[in-house]
Amino acid sequence: MPPPPKVLKRRDVPSLAKYINSDDCQNVVLMLGAGVSTAAGIPDFRSPKTGLYSNLARLNLPHPEAVFEINFFRSNPVPFYTLAHELYPGKFRPTLTHSFVRLLSEKGKLLRCFTQNIDTLERIAGVPPEKVIEAHGSFASQRCIDCHTPFDGHRMKTHILEKRIARCDRCKGLVKPDIVFFGESLPKEFIESMMQVTEADLLIVMGTSLTVQPFASLAEFTQKSCPRVLINLDRVGDFGSSPDDVILLGKCDETVRDLCKELGWLDELMELWDATAPAPSPVEASPKAKTGAESKKKLKKSVPNAKDSRSKKKQHRTPEEQVQDEVEQLTAAIEESLALTDDKDAAQPDKVQDAASPPVESVDKVDLPQKTPTDSKSEKKL
């Protein structure tokens, strides 16, 4: 039986909401993992059949992790560009959880958001870039792996979407997004920001297994008086060892929705999330399309039918059902793209085939900031 909480009244959502709304909670630190983005249709890494590593087997790699090894990339960039084509920002919509991060920022309570994800959905959701620390890099920038000359973002997007491998204008070296590969150093911004966790008066960890170091060790940097919240499908790390640890097992979006309802922020959350909806296509926005839509609307009023009933039901679908529809559509599109050829000779050096997509898992040779006993909850080494 854990000791009674010291800061929170109880280890539950109502007590957590009361604390967040109080003046005592002004510096919230978030730690986000792949589970935050699965509701957007982005697969996680290890789920059987649907995980990224499972789909990578179709590319005949020596091992799934090879796609994120810098030496393998130098010899064969095709597999990574294949994944980049499927993962590239713009294909996925931020989730309710991403909008919650922005809402915390707008409430003036977000100190820092550390994310393991490379999908840039925090940025797309409108979280201020200076509040986001992408521990494993992201697709937001790119450069030559040899001379390190930056490469234009618009050109990179064109290359990836057209399945062409980008090369440096200066030295003709390979260009890759600033995603941390095995054997590369972590971003300087991450290393320099790690100790900010000691300033937190609330830590929320969402959608991560807390197995990848040194990211996982951030949860140990909090002061002993700082409540820690885990929102995840499974219990991970040492959560439950401190008096003010709150463990909320379940899907991130559902738990965030319940928390915002208790906070009185639900309407604001939904407004922010609605604003992330994709803009209508040119065909949908054209005058001709509008005229056609108006004609159909008049026809529906005069001749009701079964299709009208289905449309009315669709108008009253819950946000969860809308998200599920989008996830199913994105998943179907990815599965269609994953219809890879069995011809091993089909892949050319500068031509990319379609496939799935995974991120970074760990990094070698990193100089980390030193903790003091007052900086963290334990003396465990990184």
Task: List residues with catalytic annotation.
Answer: 136
37 marked among binding-site residues: yes
Q: Does 66 appear as a known binding residue?
A: no
Torsion angles phi and psi, residue 227, rounded to 5: -65, 145
* Residue 21 annotated as binding site: no
Q: How far is the C-alpha of 76 from the C-alpha of 68, rounded, in Å?
A: 11
**Residue 246 labeled ligand binder:** no
Identify the sign of the CA torsion 245, 249, 252, 255. negative
Q: How far apart are CA 222 and CA 230, in angstroms?
A: 14
Q: Is 168 annotated as a binding residue?
A: yes
The distance in angstroms from the start CA to the end CA of the chain is 28
Q: Is 164 annotated as a binding residue?
A: no
Tell me whether residue 38 is annotated as binding.
yes
> Is 208 labelled as part of a ligand binding site?
yes
How far apart CA 215 and CA 191 sit, in angstroms, is 10
233 is in an annotated binding site: yes
- The answer to whether 209 is annotated as binding is yes
Has 60 been labeled as part of a binding site?
A: no
Neighbours of 191 (CB within 10 A): 17
Nearest to 206 by CA among 234, 243, 238: 234
Cis peptide before 48 (omega within 30 of 0): no
Q: Is 36 annotated as a binding residue?
A: yes
Question: Rounded to 5 degrees, what are φ and ψ at 376?
Answer: -140, 175
| 34 among annotated binding-site residues | yes
Phi, psi of 171 (to 5 degrees): -125, 0
Sign of the torsion angle spanned by Cα atoms 274, 275, 276, 281? positive
Residues 96/254, Cβ–Cβ less than 8 Å: no
Annotated binding site for Zn(2+): 144, 147, 168, 171
Annotated binding site: 34-38, 44-46, 116-119, 144, 147, 168, 171, 208-209, 232-234, 252
Annotated binding site for NAD(+): 34-38, 44-46, 116-119, 208-209, 232-234, 252
